[in-house]
């Protein structure tokens, strides 16, 4: 086809996301799979799927950048960049200007502050603990015996919010037992769990300026964005396909050439 495509692949702790884009960041294909145990094979499978979607071949790939925890395990990548860098690039692509990027991932959270030009001012990562991450919500769904996909609808429809005060995922599950025993509504517990995720993020940083929320949790549970806006009193923008923000940032980094800055 002779198209110049840039590939960004984000090998996260839970899911691998891949994006094919042109030099201006316009996306032609996306693919996502559970990262599994063989990161290289998963990344390859995502690439094959995305190439098929885009009607392209490997010969069309100009450069590939890998990001995420498994960034060192992508054999077809020309370079790697951290997910902190890529989430910044991806978010700034959709929301140009000075922004605060909040990425809620499967296993960790990041806050990345960017200036007008998209240059990074600073960043924070959560402590090494699943509190406030996607893994926390998975555990809560398990405890409540609900499919993960049902959480958002329940949280949105909730009339109240049960306060979960524990930092620890395991303790929060025990806390839920107490609430259930006392007759709390499941929907209120789910909304409380969402609020607890937001609370963990608010504890990381004062979150100034315009907030852009990225990551898989925002994709699957959009109500989190509403709660974040409510709790911070700030505008919260969720870019299209928030789960792919890091992969898109990697593709943009790839288009910028070696260094990806």
Partner 1 sequence: MPADGKPALIKKIRSAGPMRELMGAYFRELDEASKTGSAKVAWCTSVGPAELLRSFGFRVYFPENHGALLGSSRLAPDLIPAANAVGYSPEICSYLTSDVGSYLRKLTPLTKAFGMAGPPKPDILVYNTNQCRDVQDWFAFYQREFKVPMIGIETPRSIGDITKDHLDGLVGQHRALVPTLERVSGTRFDIDRLRETVKCSHDCTLGWKKVLRAAEHVPSPLTFADGTIHMGPAVVLRGDPRAVSYYESLVAELEERKAAGVGAVDGERWRFYWDGMPVWGKLREHTELFSSRRACIVASTYCNSWIFEGLAEEDPFTGMARAYTELFIVRSEEFKQRYLEGMVRDYGIHGIVYHDAKTCPNNSNDRYGLHVRLTRSLGVPHVVIHGDLNDLRLYSEEQADTQFEALIEQLESKAV
Instruction: Kindly state the tokens that stand for 261.
Output: 């800055």
- Paired with 99 in beta bridges are 114, 210
Residue number, 92 or 191, with CB nearest to partner 1: 92
Residue 119 or residue 160: which is nearer to partner 1 going by CB?
Answer: 119
**What pairs with residue 214 in β-bridges?**
103
What values do phi and psi take at 133, rounded to 5?
-115, 180
Among the candidate windows 23-31, 37-45, 77-85, 138-146, which touches partner 1 by CB under 8 A?
77-85
Q: Which residue in 41, 62, 125, 148 binds partner 1 (CB under 8 A)?
A: 125
From residue 174 to residue 203, the character string flagging contacts with partner 1 as x (rule: CB under 8 A) and all else as - is ------------------------------
Sole window of 122-130, 140-148, 159-167, 191-199 interacting with partner 1 (rule: CB under 8 A): 122-130
Neighbouring C-alpha atoms within 13 Å toward the C-beta of 50: 29
Distances (CA, A) of 180 to 121, 142, 146, 169: 44, 14, 14, 17
Among 17, 30, 85, 93, binds partner 1 (CB under 8 A): 85
The answer to the question of residue 120 lying near partner 1 (CB under 8 A) is yes
Taking CB under 8 A as the binding criterion, the range among 116-124, 171-179, 227-235, 236-244 that sits at the site for partner 1 is 116-124
Where residue 25 falls (left for φ over 0; alpha for ψ -120 to 50; beta otherwise) is: left
Give min distance, CB of 11 to partner 1, in A: 11
Least Å from the CB of residue 73 to partner 1 = 12
Separation CA 67–CA 87 (nearest Å):
10
Whole-number Cα distances in Å, 133 to 59, 160, 221, 258: 38, 22, 12, 32
**Per rule CB under 8 A, count of chain residues that contact partner 1:** 16
As a whole number of angstroms, the distance between CA 68 and CA 25 comes to 19
Q: Least CB distance from residue 171 to partner 1, whole Å?
A: 16
Residues forming contacts to partner 1 in the complex (CB under 8 A) are 69, 81-85, 108, 119-120, 122-123, 125, 127-128, 259, 261
């Amino acid at each position: 086809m002779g198209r110049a495509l840039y590939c960004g692949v984000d090998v996260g702790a839970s899911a691998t996301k891949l994006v094919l884009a042109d030099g201006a960041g316009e996306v032609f294909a996306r693919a996502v799979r559970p990262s599994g145990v063989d990161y290289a094979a998963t990344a390859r499978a995502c690439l094959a799927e995305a190439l098929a979607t885009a009607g392209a071949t490997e010969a069309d790939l100009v450069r590939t950048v890998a990001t995420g925890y498994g960034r060192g395990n992508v054999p077809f990548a020309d370079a790697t960049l951290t997910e902190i860098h890529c989430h910044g690039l991806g978010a700034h692509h959709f929301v140009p200007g000075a922004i605060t990027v909040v990425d809620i991932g499967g296993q960790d959270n990041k806050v990345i502050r960017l200036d007008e030009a998209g240059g990074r001012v600073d960043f924070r990562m959560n402590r090494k603990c699943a509190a406030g991450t996607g893994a926390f919500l998975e555990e809560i769904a398990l405890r409540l015996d609900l499919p993960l996909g049902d959480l958002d609808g329940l949280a949105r429809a909730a009339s109240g919010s049960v306060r979960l005060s524990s930092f620890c995922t395991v303790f929060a599950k025990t806390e839920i037992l107490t609430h259930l025993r006392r007759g709390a509504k499941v929907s209120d517990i789910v909304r409380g769990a969402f609020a607890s995720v937001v609370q963990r993020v608010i504890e990381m940083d004062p979150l100034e300026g315009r907030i852009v929320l990225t990551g898989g949790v925002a994709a699957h549970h959009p109500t989190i964005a509403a709660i974040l806006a409510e709790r911070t009193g700030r505008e919260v923008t969720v870019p299209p396909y928030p789960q792919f923000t890091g992969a898109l940032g990697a593709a943009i980094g790839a288009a910028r050439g070696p260094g990806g800055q």
